[in-house]
Chain A
Amino acid sequence: MKTDLVRILDGNIFVLSDGSGDLEAKPTVPCGFYSYDTRFLSLWRLTLNGERLSPLARDDPSYFEVRFFLVPGEPTHYVDAKVSVIRERSVAGSFEEQLTVLNHSREPAEITVHVEADSDFMPLIVAAQGRTPKGRLYRRVENGRLHLGYQRDAFRRETVISSTTEPAQVDERGLTYQIRIEPHGQWTTTLHVRGLVLRPDGEDVREHLHPGRRRRDRFRLERNLQQWLGTAPQLNCDWEPLERTYRQCLVDLAALGYSPLTLPAEALPAAGLPWSATLAGREPIFASLQALPFAPDLARAALHMLGIDQGAVLDDFRDEEPGKILREFRYGELVAFEERPQAPYYGAADVTPLYVVLLDEYERWTGDADTVREFEDEARAALHWIDEYGDIMGDGYVWYQRRNEQTGLENQCWKESRGFLWSLGVAPAAIPAELHAQAGLYRSILAERRMLILLDNCRDWDQIRHLLPGTGGSLVIATSRRRITGVAGQAGAHPLHLDLLTHAEARELLTRRLGDEAAADPAAVDEIIARCGRLPLALALVATRSVGRPGLSLPAVAGELAEADGRLAGFGDTHADLEAIFSWSYRALTPEQPGSSGCCPCTRAGS
């Protein structure tokens, strides 16, 4: 897996190339020009007089533009270069590349410039696995343009390559220019590559949507970016790195912006770049939740879009139920022919409750109650989903069980070990199936980075050992409610056992939280401390719940705890969080001894 690919993108349109700007796709190197979940170019190779080019330098002016400075031949020869090339590339709605060849010598130069092009029209979700196409690939030259295409029934995708400024010889393998450059002169041409999503009548489907996608070019993208930065709150600080970091965060958020066909004038955060530049559920909710203080419109767009796609019927293939919020939407061939369910796929336990959380938080941050009223129906449908379809065991919890056992997603969220690799930028399809291979890839990526990895609430050593980096400067903090055996012997691991509070400390905690009330009734306080087994978390929760219930006396709290007899559902209302947090701790306790120490092993990789 090559990790040094150069990437530029605009929503779900992106180009991944090697360091010289060439695209040569292989299953291990998923280079390409991608649009609408399809690879529209799998080969794009520039040669001068039959010779490949090597990079001298690169400039990345923005997330949708890149400039490569190249010379012919192997890197060791470039000091003698008589000719150099600037390749300026942008992706703004389509893929544009300006080639400039410079002659540095005192003699005129005769040069054959050749751009070789091809496409396999691979669906994005299998780009790193490879696949035998089920449809027909075609290529033809028409009016000086090269058309590369793919057709399966009425499904059709086409790449159209044209050269606007200079006449080229175009054949089915690419474009060729025979040029002569005067001493110290230069020659320039612009190549345009469009990825078309065609209907049977040969028209692009997007041209028939009104209002259509806004016209995009790099000047508009740049203007939009400046507008976006101007709308966000300004941060002024005499420590310049903070200002710079804040500005870069806003630029990154802009790059993440994705305008679905349904809402061409609104942008919500995509799930990830570039492989998950698509409409998803969980990721835009979290991203817009975190961005609420700076860019609350992202949350509004996410609520709007996800509400439109809210589930309406029971559908096993999509794991859809009425009121459910989607997990992911894709436009590719596998989805079109329902070999995969993402049009849209709903398999997720957490996204629907998160939708309601986002609506609530949006109002808290903006005070915009009208929006909450606007999404009342969606919120009620989501709440109904939680009770009717989320709580499948009838026990008050939301569970996950897919009904699509062939292509639905088996695991969720915290169970997604593959998610670690995904979040480190590995293409989903490049993630090996086998666990040891995953661990190897994970370690090789971490070896090059400095990261703090938090593994919360671990079960045992076996569960976490694959997630420890091999070498490098990363630090891991693993927490557990149990003493993890096997940690002590590991090099670089520092087990840290957090004991119970002493009686005096427990008393101090309650007194600090409850004030005079606790001081006035030492007997009730002793009872609560005993019932909570001197566990800091239990004491803190009881204190919080007691403060939240004015008029409730401490002896009554102690009494309720006694009646509950360890089954903490009996305390106060059966608040799910409280019960859940308690039950994790309590399951770890022996019946005789309501109290045992937590364990917190720390390990440092390599260093």
Chain B
Amino acid sequence: MSETTRKFFDALERHGHERVLKKTNGTIRFDLEHDQEVDHWFVEIRGGAVRVSQRDGDADAVIRTDRAFFDRMVRGEAKPLPAWIRNEITSEGKFRFIVLLERLFAPPPGARHPRDLVRDRGGRG
């Protein structure tokens, strides 16, 4: 099991409620492929609170990708929605949970606060 993946799901259980809206409810199962195996991660969101387990159960959305690509999304190096459009991740179920992924992963490395950009340029760009 990838260390990046495990750390991500640990942190998601503890801090997920800070990223998803209070009214969010539903289940997502991640099927992460590697070396002819599939790891399952089952994420349950109730009233914005997140619980994570490794059971292989039915979910509102099932998201399948390979583990290395999943880790790139975790690190913010790749984005879920364009990846879904080019079939780097595939899905079954409710599309809104693919959109929800956008809230869960880290920002891209090197992303700037708009104010810092303006300050670095010394005023209006």
Contact = CB atoms under 8 A, between A and B. Distances in A.
A200 B88 CA distance: 9
Contacts of A452: none
Contacts of B7: none
Given A312-B103, A336-B85, A210 B92 contact: yes
From B85, B102, B103, B107, name the one whose CB has the most chain A CB atoms within 10 angstroms.
B85
Contacts of B112: 314, 316, 403
Candidate in A338, A343, A399 with the most chain B CB atoms within 10 angstroms: A343
A209 interface: yes
Contacts of A312: 19, 102-103
A321 B114 contact: yes
A313 B101 CA distance: 12
B108 interface: yes
A331 B82 CA distance: 8
Interface in B72-116: 76, 79, 81-82, 85-88, 90-96, 99-100, 102-103, 105-108, 110-115
A336 B82 CA distance: 5
A118 interface: no
A317 B22 CA distance: 28
A200 B87 contact: yes
Contact of B87 (A155, A209, A315, A335): A155
Given A210-B92, A261-B95, A335 B21 contact: no
A378 B117 CA distance: 26
Contacts of A403: 112, 114, 117
Contact of A343 (B81, B87, B100, B107): B81
Given A155-B86, A314-B111, A378-B21, A262 B81 contact: no
Interface in B19-33: 19, 21-23
B82 A205 contact: no
A377 B23 contact: yes
A315 B91 contact: no
B85 A331 contact: yes
Interface stretch (A13-21, A386-394, A579-587): A386-394
B107 A394 contact: no
Interface string A147-188: 000001111100000000000000000000000000000000
Contacts of A208: 90-93
B81 A344 contact: yes
B107 A205 contact: no
Interface string B9-21: 0000000000101
B87 A154 contact: yes
Interface size range of chain B in the complex: 35 or more
B114 A155 contact: no
Contacts of A316: 108, 110-112
Contacts of B100: 308
Interface in B26-85: 76, 79, 81-82, 85
Nearest to A207: B92
Contacts of A343: 79, 81-82, 85
Contacts of A152: 86
B86 A154 contact: yes
A47 interface: no
A154 B118 CA distance: 39
Interface string A219-250: 00000000000000000000000000000000
A210 B21 CA distance: 22
Contact of B91 (A200, A209, A307): A209
Interface of A: 152-156, 199-200, 205, 208-211, 261-263, 307-309, 312-317, 321, 331, 335-338, 343-344, 374, 377-378, 389, 392-394, 399, 401, 403
Given A199-B90, A338-B82, 18 more contacts: A153-B87, A155-B85, A155-B87, A156-B87, A200-B87, A208-B92, A209-B94, A209-B95, A211-B94, A308-B100, A313-B105, A314-B107, A314-B108, A321-B113, A336-B82, A389-B114, A389-B115, A401-B124
Which 8 A-B residue pairings sit nearest by Cβ, starting from the closest? A154-B87, A336-B86, A313-B107, A314-B111, A336-B85, A312-B103, A261-B95, A155-B86
24 contacts: A155-B87, A199-B90, A205-B87, A208-B90, A209-B94, A210-B93, A308-B96, A308-B100, A312-B19, A313-B103, A313-B108, A314-B112, A315-B79, A315-B107, A316-B108, A316-B112, A336-B85, A343-B82, A343-B85, A377-B23, A392-B117, A392-B118, A399-B118, A403-B117
Interface of B: 19, 21-23, 76, 79, 81-82, 85-88, 90-96, 99-100, 102-103, 105-108, 110-115, 117-118, 124-125
